[in-house]
Every structure is written in structure tokens, then in C-alpha cells.
Structure 1
Amino acid sequence: MARVNVRADLWETLWSFAHRVLAVNLLLALAGAPLMLALGAVAEPWRYPVFFGVLALPLAPAVAAAFAYYADEDPRPPLTRLFRLMRSRARRSLLIAVVAGGLIGVLVTDIKVLAKSLPAAVPLLAVLLLLVAVGAFNALALVGTPVRLAVYSGVRGWALSLLSLGVLGTVAVIVSQAPLVGLATLPGCALWVVHTNTQAQLARIVRRTG
């Protein structure tokens, strides 16, 4: 049998990626534990959007910390650094989550109300809903970047933004069907994809304006 030779730097890259994904999954599991417990206990969670929205707020600092953790140049940054990143980004990320959550709530309500009385307005509201979601994730991912630039980069790089939302939606569906396996492996990978896409979007904007 032929011997498979893999370069040492490739192994280091693979282990670094696995280390970061597992650390991010752990943080997300801790931050999302109250939400998951409530979802398991309530039969119709969509009837209580405010309650579950509040329970979901701790995920915003965790997601912001995950993006910053992926951007860390240390091959294997310690787990304690991830928790420090979460604390340092808590205020901005919570503000972003509250504003985005409020706008999403208003838009979803408008879509429900206007679906029958004014259906022509629904596509526009749906586009605005996507823009709010893209802007929120880009603002969380591009820490230290002005919010306007983060939103602008997400809109200009709309293809990558749709890819990110598609990946997140797919992971959400898988987790809903197989919570233990999904939560243990997929969220960290999905956020890595979003992080990579947002960095590419920002780099494209910088090159065009530089």
C-alpha cells in the first residue's frame, strides 16, 4: 500500500480548525442552553416571540466572540480567550441583537398583516427582512468595523450573504431534527463559513475604495 504523506503544516491547520470549532460549539451550547431547554418544554414556541427572543440574546455575544476567535492569529488560541472575547463584545453585540430583533419582529408582523390586504408589499418586506438579517450577522462578524460599512459590505456581496444565510438555515433545520449531533458539530462550522464570507466581502470593499 502506498504511504500517504501529509505536510506538517496541513495537519496543524486541520487541528487548529477542529480546536476552534469545538471551542465555539461549547460556547454556543452554554449560551444557548436556556433557549434550548425552553424550546424543549414549550409545545408552540412561536406564540411567545418576546420570551424566546430574550432567551436568545446571550447567543449574540457568543456569536461575536466566535467570529473574533476565528480571526485570532494564534494557531490554537486558549478557550479562556474565547470567553474573554465574549465579555469584551457583550455590549455592542447585545445592542445589535436587540435592534435587529426588533426590526425583524416588526417586519414579520407587517408581512402577516399585509399578506391578505396588500400582498404586493410582501416581497419588499421580505427583502428588508433579509437585509436586516445580513446586516446583523455582518455587524457581529466584523468587530471593530463601523456598522454602516458592515451592512454595506453584506449588501454589495449579496451572493455570499445569501450563501451564509443558506448555511445557517440548513444547520438550523438539521439541529431541529437531530439536536445532540447537530449542536455538537455543525454550529461552529456554519459560523466559520459566515466568518470567511464576511471577511471576503469586507476585503472586496476595501480593494475597491483603496
Structure 2
Amino acid sequence: MGSPLARVNVRADAWDLIWSFAHRVLVVNAGLALGCAPLLFASAVVADPLSYPLFFGVLALCLGPALSASFSYLQADDPSLRSLFRSYRRVIRRSLLPWALTLAVLGILVTDIVALHDATPGAALVPLLAVVGVLALGTGLLLLVDLSVPLRAALYAIVRTPHLTLLSFVVLAAAVLIVNQVPLAGIATVPGCALWVVQLNSRLQLAGSGA
């Protein structure tokens, strides 16, 4: 009896592409789980992480190198796990500063929004602060995708292609929601796919802006 795959009209090179993508996704997921282990462990132990913003803000610093290494690995020719480790060592120092600045800006903006949303004159500033937060987070993600891009070029790319930025945020939000609902299965399957979409969107944004 022949293999069930023989009945599927898909070329061999298409299967190779599918398995290669699945392999990269699994490697990225494993790398994110290892690189963000302190943050994941604290999130699992603490019932209300939002009650400890400074503590979790510091732990969130590990996200920057982990994300940047994942983006670099997804663009590399070598799909091995060693390639991810090499990417991590290459970007860990350069990715910490832009990500730390991004977290600092987001922390200040969130604090201002919480303080002003109930105040009559300050409530008018909340939408503006929210837009600045979106720009800051989008710019930070673009810089993690390509650490060689100047800050001005990354910000211009975000402003010029808001639809791609929105798509990246929706994909990331969906990934976070799935991981929150089913942690083990979510971490094992979802993050790599989400980061692949974000990386593709970011490349399109940078190419469209001439960066």
C-alpha cells in the first residue's frame, strides 16, 4: 500500500519548503522559551503581573535580544539550532539599548495614561499618548528586525505603512492571547509563526521606505 502523501498532489520541493518552515518555527519557539524563561516563569507564578509593573518591566528586557535573534535566524540560510545561538550572541548587546528605550518610553506613556484618563483636561491627551505608544512599539520592533536601520528611517517606515504595523500588532496580540490561554501548546507552536509574519511585514515596510 502506497504512502498517503503520494495521493496529495504536492511537489517534493514544496514539502521540503513546508518542513523547513516548520523546523524554523520550532527552533524559534524553543529559543524564545529559553531566552525569556525568567519572564515566563514569573508570569506563571504571579497571579496579577500588572500589579508589579517595574519588576516585570525589568524582566521584559530579555524579550529584546530573544526577538532580535529570532528575526535574524529567520533570515539566515542556516536553519540549525546553532545558527540561532550564533544570532543571539551577535545581537544581544546591540538589541538591548533600543529595546530598553522602547520599554522606558512605553512605561512613561502608560503611567501618564493611567494618571490622566480620569482627569477632565488630561483625558484629551490620552489618544495622543496612545498613538505615540503605538509609534514607539512599532519602531522598536522594526529596529529589532534590522539593528542597522537608523531610528529616523524606522519611524518613517511605521508612519508610511500603518496597515502593516496594525497587521503585525494584531498577529502579536493573537499570539499572546493563545499563549496565555494554552501556555504549553501555544509556546510550542504559535510564536515562531507570528514572528515570521512580523519579520515579513517589517521587511516590506523598510523596503518601501527606502531604508
Normalised to the residue count of structure 2, the TM-score between the two structures is 0.92
Deviation track 1:116-161 (CA, whole Å, cap 9, x = no partner) reads 1121111101101111110010110123222321222122111000
Alignment-derived partner of residue 149 in structure 2: 145
Picking from 6, 25, 29, the partner of 2:10 is 6
The amino acid that maps onto 2:86 is R
Number of aligned residues:
205
Supply the RMSD in Å over aligned alpha carbons: 1.6
Asked if residue 95 in structure 1 is aligned to residue 97 in structure 2, the reply is: yes
Answer yes or no: is 1:130 the counterpart of 2:134. Answer: yes
Report the secondary structure of 1:57's partner residue. Answer: helix
Amino acid at match of 1:141: V
Partner of 2:111: 109
1:43-82 equivalence runs, <5 A = 43-72=47-76, 74=77, 76-82=78-84
Give per-residue Cα distances to partners, 1:99-128, cap 9 Å, x unaligned.
Answer: 011100000011011111121111101101
> 158-167 or 42-51, which moves further after superposition?
42-51
1:39 partnered with 2:37: no
2:131 partner amino acid: V
Instruction: Give the Cα–Cα distance (whole angstroms) in 1 for the partners of residues 174 and 142 of structure 2.
Output: 19
Q: What code does the residue aligned with 1:127 have?
A: V
CA distance in 1 between counterparts of 2:182 and 2:168 reads 21
Query: Would the aligned equivalents of 1:27 and 1:62 in 2 still touch at CA under 8 Å?
Result: yes
Matched residues in 1 for 2:39 and 2:116: separation? 30
2:94–2:147 Cα contact (<8 Å) kept: no
126-135 vs 31-40, which deviates more?
31-40
Deviation at 1:3, TM superposition (A): 3.0
Report the alpha carbon displacement of residue 167 of structure 1 after superposing the two structures with TM: 0.7
Match of 1:191 among 189, 195, 206: 195
Unaligned runs of 5+ in 1: none
Q: Where in structure 2 are there 5+ consecutive unaligned residues?
A: none
Q: Quick one: distance in 2 between partners of 1:185 and 1:164?
A: 18
Give the TM-score taking structure 1 as reference length: 0.92
Amino acid corresponding to residue 152 of structure 2 in structure 1: R
Q: Do residues 175 (structure 1) and 179 (structure 2) align?
A: yes
Give the 3-state SS of the residue equivalent to 2:171 in structure 1: helix
